[in-house]
Amino acid sequence: MRLVAAATIVTLVFFGVSAGDTQAEDGPPVTATQPLLRSIGEDVSPDELRATIARLVEFGTRHTLSETQSNTRGIGAARRWIRAQFIEMSRRCHGCLRIETPTQTIVGERIPKPTVIMDVLAVQRGTSDPDRVIVISGHLDSRVTDVMNATGDAPGADDDGSGTAAVLEAARVLSHYKFAATLVYAVLSGEEQGLYGGKLLAQSALDHHWQVEAALNNDIIGNATGANGMADKTHVRLFSEGTRSTETPEEAERRRYNGGEVDSPSRNLGRFISGIADRYITDFRVRMIYRTDRYSRGGDQVPMLAAGYPSVRFTESIENYTREHQDVRTVDGVHYGDVLGGIDFPYLAQVVRLNAVAMAALASAPAPPDSVKIGGAVSADTVLTWAPVAGAVSYRVWWRDTTAPIWTNSRSAGNATSLTLKDITIDDWFFGVSSVSADGYESPVEFPGPAGAFNPAIKPSSPASVHGN
């Protein structure tokens, strides 16, 4: 702690600049060079991903309404195989994973008869901050052209064998390590019938009183070449909502006036992940998409957002629509269907590296500060205040131009829980605060007030509840 404070003072001397400068004021972001994160990226294996998706395709169909008794075909066999993989991984890490199968019998719009929806979760409990949870998810179920066809071959290699393989690979790699926060590896089902597995995951999180700081949903992440031949193997798209799903009309009115429409916790989680890609994933960058999902389409991050949890969606740079939601067939020389041959494994590995490294970085950092507040109207200075969080030895105030997409300027507050930015007017910038651990891991930046709160349930008047649930 003393070392960190001393280093901060030194860098302030060398890099201190005047207000309005567009560079970071006292050096680069702190999660800049962590050997652990580099080695986690190197552990991700394209061969493991290939083996997982090849196995998933062998189940013929994983449609939510498909049979569950067979040991070789259908969603039942597939989810038993997933569970067995988690059990084997847990055996290798001396029981580090707790396997849960939240289950609900559903009748709904695309589920005409009572059907069991079952998610398969593996929970890696955090060492010092176990109620704080980082989730990775993908969906196991697959479909063909007719969403009600439960018997036709639906290989679902990319949608969403790729996301399911990402979850298993993240678990395989990260279960070798220990982290402050809890990691949840979530294989969902019922997505194509109406996001039922995502709803079940959100309900599970609420039932467990998990403080979900980040949910990374992976859906269609294994291909980078479109049917038109366009290719982009150096980016992944990251979708994040701009304003939080759960904001009240009063909060929306304040946000419209003061700003925050591009600073939900999900959006700042996206910025955090984009920064991880820049620093830790070679030749690979995030394309931030300022939308909850693709145009008029959905995914399992949506029920998590509805429950108030910061969530984003990873999807490949360029989708191939001859493969998604198609019967496997060839018409006029064009191959349709979501087959194994459509997966680009080196590309998929890059997306999975980014997920695994981001999870490790989030789980190693403290939570973002609680109850971030801002003041300074009709004043030359801006004042940020916040409540302390477990595991933080210092905090960093960030600001950027109101039209800038990423945080540009920052200043360390040391271990104080407020900072006055002298001669920087509140009117002209957007502001936020991050937390920093003793070993230099930094949290996502939190925008002040309910618009940006990662954990809006925590009120400054009840600090006792901060780490209690």
- Is residue 390 within 8 Å of 366, Cβ to Cβ? yes
Of positions 25, 119, 159, 300, contacts Zn ion by CB under 5 A: 159
Stated as kind and residue range, the H or E segment containing 106 is strand 103-108
Closest CA to 67 of 127, 113, 126: 113
Q: How many residues touch Zn ion (CB under 5 A)?
A: 3
Distances (CA, A) of 396 to 34, 341, 437, 468: 18, 46, 11, 25
Stretch that binds Zn ion, among 59-67, 151-159, 181-189, 417-425 (CB under 5 A): 151-159
Residue 219 or residue 442: which is nearer to Zn ion going by CB? 219
Residue 41 or residue 161: which is nearer to Zn ion going by CB? 161
435-464: which residues touch Zn ion (CB under 5 A)?
A: none
Burial 141-167 (b: 16+ CB within 10 A, else e): bbbbeeeebbeebbbbbbbbbbbbbbb
Stretch that binds Zn ion, among 147-155, 158-166, 283-291, 446-454 (CB under 5 A): 158-166
Residue 256 or residue 297: which is nearer to Zn ion going by CB? 297
Radius of gyration in angstroms for the set of CA atoms belonging to the chain, rounded to a whole number: 22
Residue 323 or residue 353: which is nearer to Zn ion going by CB? 323
Closest CA to 379 of 427, 411, 413: 427
Stretch that binds Zn ion, among 127-135, 212-220, 335-343, 353-361 (CB under 5 A): 212-220
Shortest Å distance, C-beta 299 to Zn ion: 6
Of positions 25, 160, 213, 316, contacts Zn ion by CB under 5 A: 160
Give the phi and the psi of residue 136 in degrees, each rounded to 5.
-120, 135
Residue 303 or residue 456: which is nearer to Zn ion going by CB? 303
CA distance 359 to 174: 9
CA distance 187 to 78: 11
Stretch that binds Zn ion, among 87-95, 106-114, 153-161, 269-277 (CB under 5 A): 153-161
Applying CB under 5 A, does 25 fall inside the site for Zn ion?
Answer: no
Give the phi and the psi of residue 203 in degrees, each rounded to 5.
-65, -40
x/- site string to Zn ion, residues 106 to 125, per CB under 5 A? --------------------
Give the phi and the psi of residue 271 in degrees, each rounded to 5.
-60, -40
Residue 4 or residue 348: which is nearer to Zn ion going by CB? 348
- Is residue 392 within 8 Å of 58, Cβ to Cβ? no
Residue 31 or residue 142: which is nearer to Zn ion going by CB? 142
Applying CB under 5 A, does 219 fall inside the site for Zn ion?
Answer: yes
Shortest Å distance, C-beta 220 to Zn ion: 6
Interface residues with Zn ion (CB under 5 A)? 159-160, 219
